[in-house]
Amino acid sequence: MGKFNVDEFKKKYQNSASMPEVRYTLPISKQEVFYKPITTKQQSAMLKAMEAKDVKLIEKVLDNIISVNTVDEIDVMNMTMVDRKSLLINMVTQSIGDKFDLSLECPECGKNQKMKIDLTKIKDPTISDDKLSKEVTINDYVFTLSIPTRKKMQAIEDTFDVDDDEKVSVVDIADDLITVVIKSVKGEGIEDEDISYEDSIELIKTLTPIDLKQIKEYIDGLDLDSTNKTMFKCKDKECNYKQEIQIQITHLFSK
């Protein structure tokens, strides 16, 4: 008998047939994925990134969890943000737990409030087929709009300087959605070419506010903010503030 080798063990343990594999169907692409649960090591990597308030690192840790834990490797960068978030929530439910106590600051009175979240009651988002991709015509050019992929969102993150005192929040990123929903453009002399994030930014500058309105309407119609929501109620009797809030992945790792 040889000496116990922890690295060998880890490899064998993670790949062992008895390690449960969870099946999940991505809500948008309808792709069926099998994954292994999140490990405590991955959980602590996430907590460290959250403590550092480093958005880029947080997203990288999450990308890594998806690519390492899914059985047939999944193309994380080309996943839509909706599928990515839904898969992560499902992974958390299966590996960390489905009930969470959150402490959130009431936006009205500023007091910290405890609330319970039951992930089993959070429904996967539904987005109708006609909204997954939409063509709008702007000055003889046809723009194809679609739900942003992880790759495009990462392009936004890369433009942020994480050394800034003001750390970037998810809300800031959401404001930039307009730069990431334009998938491709076709028109005279241009054949349905995919557009990079950098080109999107330049392209948007050439459009008029009225042109942009069509793109903004598409984003509003997607109603991405309505997914994975739960009700926040302030327990302060004089405040009684009520609002639907969106569950963030980071909420679920603080357990």
Between 43 and 113, name the residue whose CB sits nearer to Zn ion.
113
Cβ atoms of residues 36 and 71 within 8 Å: yes
Between 108 and 194, name the residue whose CB sits nearer to Zn ion.
108
Q: Does 241 bind Zn ion (CB under 5 A)?
A: yes
Cα Rg of the chain, angstroms: 21
Q: Does 141 bind Zn ion (CB under 5 A)?
A: no
Span of 13-21, 119-127, 161-169, 241-249 interacting with Zn ion by CB under 5 A? 241-249
Minimum gap (Å) between residue 249 Cβ and Zn ion: 25
Cβ atoms of residues 147 and 183 within 8 Å: no
Between 160 and 241, name the residue whose CB sits nearer to Zn ion.
241
Residue 15 to residue 131: CA distance in whole angstroms: 39
- Residue 221 host element (H or E): helix 209-222
Q: Does 245 bind Zn ion (CB under 5 A)?
A: no
Using alpha carbons only, what angle is made at residue 96 by residues 90 and 98, rounded to the nearest 5 degrees? Answer: 60
Q: Does 236 bind Zn ion (CB under 5 A)?
A: yes
Which one of residues 28, 65, 89, 106 is an interface residue with Zn ion (CB under 5 A)? 106
Which one of residues 239, 245, 248, 250 is an interface residue with Zn ion (CB under 5 A)? 239
Q: Does 104 bind Zn ion (CB under 5 A)?
A: no
Residue 123 to residue 230: CA distance in whole angstroms: 10
Q: Does 108 bind Zn ion (CB under 5 A)?
A: yes
* E strand residue ranges, 119-177: 133-138, 141-146
Residue 78 to residue 148: CA distance in whole angstroms: 9
Binding mask 55-94 toward Zn ion (x if CB under 5 A, else -) reads ----------------------------------------
Minimum gap (Å) between residue 72 Cβ and Zn ion: 46
Q: Which residues contact 134 (CB under 8 A, 6 or more apart)?
A: 144, 145, 146, 218
Q: Does 109 bind Zn ion (CB under 5 A)?
A: yes
> Could you list the residues that contact Zn ion (CB under 5 A)?
106, 108-109, 234, 236, 239, 241
